[in-house]
Amino acid sequence: MLLMDNILIIGAAGQIGSELTLALRKIYGAEHVFATDLKQAAPDIMDGGPFQILDVMDDKRLIHFVIRHKITQIYHLAAVLSGNAEKIPIQAWHINMDSLMNILDLAKEVEDIKKVFWPSSVAVFGPTTPHDSAPQLTIMEPRTVYGISKQAGERWVEYYNRRYKLDIRSIRYPGLISYKTEPGGGTTDYAVEIFYDAVKHGCYNCFLSEDTALPMLFMPDAIKSTIDLMEAEAANLSVKSSYNIGGMSFTPKQLSEEIKKHIPDFNISYKPDFRQAIANSWPCRLDDSIAKNDWDCSFTYNLESMTEIMIQEVQKKFGTTKL
């Protein structure tokens, strides 16, 4: 780790950014981690270190900001996620791609920028990908505009890494589960919403069918993996596009059964909507053997331990310990 690093986080008010900012401020010092977003963030992000409203699409302000604050690392987290992107496909394509190209060009132009992190997603895969343990290298025919933008993004990341000898690192996150900030419009959001509705109402109407298995990861493991990848020796990183990472795989029914161990009267119903087709097109688990080999990617939480913490934390948020 370079102690003199100055880090820019774009999308710091979001589900991942709101936790990653705090984790990076602990490591690098609050004054070295510049949180930015289009909207206001939680008070601990805005008051606990530098925060500024910044639009990643505004390349002129972006370069000015990067030079002025002597930024050496960028985490680019702004995107339109899978469910929301299907409602505004062309706009989502422009936001996801143009923002990435702005960051890649910035990394090429500004010599001080040593490393960039940009997340890809399980959404790069499609129905022709092996459904279980999708390999790192395999058939990828995404059916969603979000998945197409992530797949194209991966190709551009690899291109800039190889052609311009940059150091841009990436993870294909599975669905992320967390309690600090609510998710931003993805297909895996049910696995967060379910906890809020279980605690507040004792029931949940799920937008996916009971047997839809998807890859998932608890936020503390996602944050740790992200930082571990960014701190890994560059020479060990064989994947120049984006790494598969694993975690857990479960269905809404399995998650509801786990919740019932804590809230016995919890009741789940199912009303699949347009997101069912998206979920059906994604693998249920990713093979992360290359990430394990290259940078010791590892996880702490499983379905049981994640559920226990989610229920405790959501109960604390709403001031209730039991229904």
- What residues act catalytically? 146
Choosing from 5, 6, 7, 15, the residue that interacts with ligand NAD (CB under 6 A) is: 15
- Residue 117 exposure: Cα atoms within 13 Å on the Cβ side: 26
Token pair for 216: 């998932």
Choosing from 175, 215, 246, 247, the residue that interacts with ligand NAD (CB under 6 A) is: 175
Q: Which does 79 bind (CB under 5 to 8 A by kind): ligand NAD, ligand SER, none?
A: ligand NAD
Choosing from 50, 55, 133, 228, the residue that interacts with ligand NAD (CB under 6 A) is: 55
The answer to the question of residue 252 lying near ligand NAD (CB under 6 A) is: no
Choosing from 5, 7, 8, 17, the residue that interacts with ligand NAD (CB under 6 A) is: 17
Nearest Cα neighbor of 123 from 158, 181, 83, 64 is 83
Choice between 142 and 263, CB closer to ligand NAD: 142
Residue 210 CB, shortest distance to ligand NAD, in Å, is 21
Residue 10 CB, shortest distance to ligand NAD, in Å, is 5
The amino acid at residue 179 is: Y
Choice between 188 and 307, CB closer to ligand NAD: 188
Return d(Cα 108, Cα 58) in angstroms, integer: 17
Return d(Cα 140, Cα 261) in angstroms, integer: 38
- Tokens 């984790």, residue located: 23
Choosing from 8, 22, 79, 166, the residue that interacts with ligand NAD (CB under 6 A) is: 79
Residue 279 CB, shortest distance to ligand NAD, in Å, is 13
The answer to the question of residue 86 lying near ligand NAD (CB under 6 A) is: no
Q: Which does 163 bind (CB under 5 to 8 A by kind): ligand NAD, ligand SER, none?
A: none
Contacting range for ligand NAD; rule: CB under 6 A; set: 171-179, 226-234, 269-277, 310-318: 171-179
Among all residues, whose Cβ is closest to ligand NAD? 14
The answer to the question of residue 59 lying near ligand NAD (CB under 6 A) is: no
Q: Which does 37 bind (CB under 5 to 8 A by kind): ligand SER, ligand NAD, none?
A: ligand NAD
Choice between 30 and 270, CB closer to ligand SER: 270
Contacting range for ligand NAD; rule: CB under 6 A; set: 51-59, 203-211, 239-247, 298-306: 51-59
Contacting range for ligand NAD; rule: CB under 6 A; set: 62-70, 78-86, 253-261, 300-308: 78-86
Binding site for ligand NAD (CB under 6 A): 10-11, 13-17, 37-39, 55-57, 77-79, 81, 119, 121, 173, 175-176, 183-184, 186, 188
